[in-house]
Amino acid sequence: MPAISASELAARLGLRLRGNGNRQITAAASLEDAGPDDLTFISAPKYFEAGLDSDAGCFIAPHDFPAASDRTVIESAHPRNHFAQALALLYPAPPIHPGIHPSAVIHPSAAIDPTAEIGPFVAIGSHATIGAHVRIGASTSIGNESTIGDHSLLHARVSIYGRVHIGARAVIHSGAVIGADGFGFELAGTSYRKVPQVGRIQIGDDVEVGANSCIDRATLGTTFIGDGTKLDNMVHIGHNCRIGEHVLIVAQTGLAGGVTVGDYAVIGGQVGVGDKARIESKAIIGSGAGILSSKIVRAGEPVWGTPARPLRQYLKQLATVARLAKKS
C-alpha cells in the first residue's frame, strides 16, 4: 500500500489535523498493535490513557484527546466512523480488469456490460443482465433472467438462481445462495408433496450478503430485501420475507417464511423468527432470542430470550431464577 501523509488523509476526510502533517501513514492497526507508521483510532475518553501509551504514529480521536505536541491527531466527533472511511482510502479495492475469462460459459442471449469483469469458470444463463463495472469471481453461477446491478461485487462460488434481481453496489460473499426454492411442502396422504416455488427475489441497492447465507425465492410474488440492508454470514431468509431498508441481521439467524422486518431494525446473532412474524422499524432483538410465529415485535426497548420479551422483564426473570437456585 502506498504511503499517505497525515495532512492529505485529514483533508480527504474533511477533518482538522493537529501535529505533524507530514507524517507518512503506511497502514492501519489496532490501538495495541499500532506502530509509528500506522493509523489507529480512539473512540472514547476511557481509551485516552491507552492511546498515550501507544506507539501509533497517527490517531483519529475526539477533539479533547490530550496528545503531546509530538503526536499527530486527526480530530473527529465520530472517530470510529471516520476510521472506517480512512480504511477505505488506505486499502482501496483492486481495479477492475474488464473482460470475460476464456473459461467462462456465457449464454448468447446474456447482456454483459463491456466494463464488467467476468472471472474463471463463471456461468451466466440466458437473458441474464450484468451491469457496468460489475466484478464476478471464479466459479460463480448466474441463472436465467437474473440481473446484477452496476458496481456490484460477487465473490467466488456464489450461486444466483434464475429470476433474481440484485441492485447496484451489492456485495455478495462466497458460498451465498440466492434464489433457491422456499421450503414449501404439503402432506398428501402419507407423504409430502412439494409446492412449486415460482416467485422471484428482489434485492435493493447497497445490500451486502455474508458468506454461506441463503435467500429463498417466494412461493408466489417476491422475496424482498431493501436498500442498504446488511446480512452477516450464515443468515437464512425464508420465502416471501420482506426486509426493509438499512436492516442489520447478524450471523446464524434464521427467518421463516413470510416474515416482515421494518427499516433500521437490528436482529442479533442466532435469532430464530417464526413464520409471518412482524418486526417493526427500529426494533432491536438480542442474540439468541426466539420470536414466535405471527408475533409482533414493537420498536422501543430491546427484546431478549425465548420467547422474546422486553429486556428488563427478561433480566428480572433471570434474577428470580438465580435466587430460586440459591434457595434450593
Number of Cβ within 10 Å of residue 324's Cβ equals: 9
C-alpha distances (whole Å) from 107 to each of 101, 116, 144, 187, 205 are 14, 16, 9, 39, 26
Residues with catalytic annotation? 239
d(CA 225, CA 44): 34
- How would you write 228-239 as a 3-class SS string? CCEECCCCEECC
Of 248, 98, 138, 136, the C-alpha closest to 146 is: 136
d(CA 253, CA 268): 7
Query: Are the CB atoms for 161 and 143 separated by under 8 Å?
Result: yes
d(CA 262, CA 284): 11
Nine-digit cell at 319?
A: 434474577
Number of Cβ within 10 Å of residue 262's Cβ equals: 19
Of 297, 298, 289, 279, the C-alpha closest to 229 is: 279
d(CA 314, CA 286): 11
Residue with cell 410474488: 221
